[in-house]
Amino acid sequence: MIKRILSQPEWRIIDQTTLGDSFHALQSFAMDDTLCSSIGSEGSPPTVRAWVHPKTVVLGIQDSRLPNLSDGVNYLKEQGYEVIVRNSGGLAVVLDDGVLNLSLVLSEKEQKIDIDLGYDAMVYLTEQLLKPYGLTFEQKEISTSYCPGKYDLSIDGKKFAGISQRRLRGGIAVQIYLCVNGSGSERAELIREFYKRAKGEHETKFMYPLVDPDVMASLTELLGKPITVSDLMKDLLLYLKEQDSELLSAQLSISEINQYDYYLKRVVERNKKALER
């Protein structure tokens, strides 16, 4: 079933890895909501979207409820990071030029895709992308990483990726962030300090992670030689071609652009409200 999910007759490819400062992280979440809606109604073929954002910390809804949130956000901004709150689950993650994000956007109209199957498909895809480098990993929670979860991916106890899902209007976006290069521990240290300042001495009902920088690394650090975002993009396209899928490079259609404007406005408004708490 996993191979069937990844062996679509046609994949639309949206590569947004080189847009730089012109592409804001809030636009990414509006993009995936738009694609979920369009693909869920079968107005578009299944889509793989790849994206990179410079120096952005994406907070979860629970993070926005921290008692000293403004102190933590100010710290992140002082370090040169944009700060946003996403409209789905999970906790704080770091995005920068060395972090590749992939979204597999699929329809459930013809066949139900349960939550675990969506996650497992992304785990399998990641296995295929890392095979050429001789890298194998474990899938288990790394509790002292940032944004810990059951579908953390790690090598020798060091997390390099995390997976999430967004479901909307019959569409599913399975999303992964892959720390390709740069320092995993420096990213973790940034989030550890954020929690230290945003929580302060307060007791909270929700248990925020006690982030340990030693349990996070990039693929380049784990391999011991450079891997780039463009390397993994080439590996991704090659793998999909090997599944006999037709690859179409296409941006949003006119009808999707109208939906995108709606979802972007909603995402921006929610983000503003979350950061005002």
Q: Catalytic amino acids?
A: 147
DSSP 8-class letter at 41: T
Q: Are 168 and 33 in contact (CB under 8 A)?
A: yes
SS3 251: coil
Distance CA 93, CA 242 (A): 32
Token digits of residue 225: 């030689």
Q: Are 6 and 122 in contact (CB under 8 A)?
A: no
Alpha-carbon distances, residue 93 vs 29, 59, 60, 74, 81 (angstroms):
14, 7, 9, 16, 12
